Amino acid sequence: MQESYLFAGIQPSSGAGAGRGSRENDVNEPGFVTLATNGELEARADAAAPHLLSCGLCPRECGVDGASGERGWCGAGPEPRVYRHMSHPGEEPPVSGAYGSGVVFFSHCTMACAYCQNHRWSQLHEGRDRTVAELGGMFVSLAEAGCHNLNLVSATQFLPAVLEALRIASGEGVRLPVVWNTSGYESPAALELLDGVVDVYLADLRYADDRAARELSDAPDYVATARDALTEMNRQVGVLELNPDGTAASGLIVRHLVLPNDLSSTEDSLQWVASELGRDTFVSLMAQYYPTKGVEGHPEAGRRITRAEWDRARDALAAAGIDNGWVQELPDSLSGIAGTEIGPDPDADRDA
């Protein structure tokens, strides 16, 4: 992400927490730790397991038996496939903090955005199948590296494994907030499993027009689905709260990537956030769109946004009355934009 800035301050929350990966001034025991202690995380993992036999984890509800080798729309298998886990300095300021966000880039995706910056692993499925124990080990290593959180990117298709791996991480003393980094295209079933597990939802709101969502992301009923999902996320975690060190403790951050020719329906999207989620919602307005190979020559999506389009998006944010969040600088070049230069884990075979 390019340089961004906070345009409204918020007060840190209070509380206490300690353990591997917790800094002295962090607050609020992460949800998965609480649920691991009272047995609920094990119950969630048990409740998620049937999706391995008949998958309904995302709104596509393929119903496939992944354990028997069937593959649904996303192509994911029963083992969690990971492209890269790393400390990431380029997320929003309270997510990356001073020491980086503990990102896990999962392979496959429940959407297929033609312009996806992560298409090597989301659509070409690069990465390596891991065991649940190995995934739990990644969470531990990110905590030991000093990361501020576990930032799980497009993990829905591997939710049963994620819940099991969090149990392992909790047992190993990991005490980091879980960030669910999502396209917003989530099912009620997945969100029910995640309730109380996720501390911070970092959720895209990509479109307010189903035609654009179908054509560019092959995502039927995206608008209603994502709006329902973000409403539920907001119910679960509410307005963003910070630790005393300025890192995210809990809450919802809505990401909105401005697309050329207003394919993102920016004014409509931001007005909806303000009216339905609240004007105190934290919004990350993103300018980093660039046309990947998948949209080369596309009549509407085949170029970067213009300065005039970016100015209109910023005006729409102000008109919506949203004061909390971050606005990117319009990048001069592609250098440094998240996703363009990320390689796989050093030991990752290209399984796909």
Q: Which CB sits closer to ligand SF4, 57 or 142?
A: 57
Q: What is the DSSP letter of 274?
A: I
For residue 345, the minimal CB distance to ligand SF4 (Å) is: 22
Give min distance, CB of 107 to ligand SF4, in A: 12
Distance (Å, whole) CA 307 – CA 282:
23
Rounded Cα–Cα distance for residues 66 and 265 (Å): 36
Give the number of other Cβ atoms within 10 Å of residue 148's Cβ: 31
- 111 vs 295, beta carbon nearer ligand SF4: 111
Q: In angstroms, what is the minimal distance from the CB of 193 to ligand SF4?
A: 12
* Comparison of 36 and 190: residue with beta carbon closer to ligand SF4: 190
- In whole angstroms, how close is the CB of 123 to ligand SF4 at the nearest point? 13
Residue placing its CB nearer to ligand SF4 in the complex, 114 or 277: 114
Cβ proximity to ligand SF4, 66 vs 260, nearer residue: 66
C-alpha closest to that of 246 among 5, 4, 10, 88: 10
d(CA 28, CA 17): 6
First to last CA, the chain: 28
Q: Which residue is nearest to ligand SF4 (CB)?
A: 72
Nearest approach in angstroms of CB 300 to ligand SF4 is 26
Instruction: Provide the minimum distance between the beta carbon of 77 and ligand SF4 in the complex, in angstroms, as a whole number.
Output: 10
Among residues 214 and 314, whose Cβ is nearest to ligand SF4?
A: 214
Question: Which residues lie below 8 Å from residue 69, measured CB to CB, with a gap of 6+?
Answer: none
How many helices (H) and strands (E) the chain has is answered by 11, 11
**Site residues (CB under 6 A) for ligand SF4?**
55-58, 60-62, 64, 72-74, 76, 110, 156-157
| Sign of the dihedral defined by the CA atoms of residues 185, 310, 253, 157, in that order | positive
Shortest Å, Cβ 53 to ligand SF4 = 11
Q: Are 119 and 294 spatial neighbours (Cβ–Cβ below 8 Å)?
A: yes
- Nearer to ligand SF4 by C-beta: 143 or 197? 197
DSSP assignment of 265-304: -HHHHHHHIIIII-TTSEEEEE------GGGTT-TTTSSP
For the purposes of burial, counting CB atoms within 10 Å of the CB of 24, is it exposed (0-12), middle (13-18) or buried (19 or more)?
exposed
Least CB distance from residue 110 to ligand SF4, whole Å?
Answer: 5
- Looking at the Cβ atoms of 74 and 161, the one nearer to ligand SF4 is 74
**In Å, how far are 71, 74, 193, 303 from 63, measured between CA atoms?**
10, 12, 17, 37
Instruction: Give dist(CA 299, CA 218) in Å, integer.
Output: 17
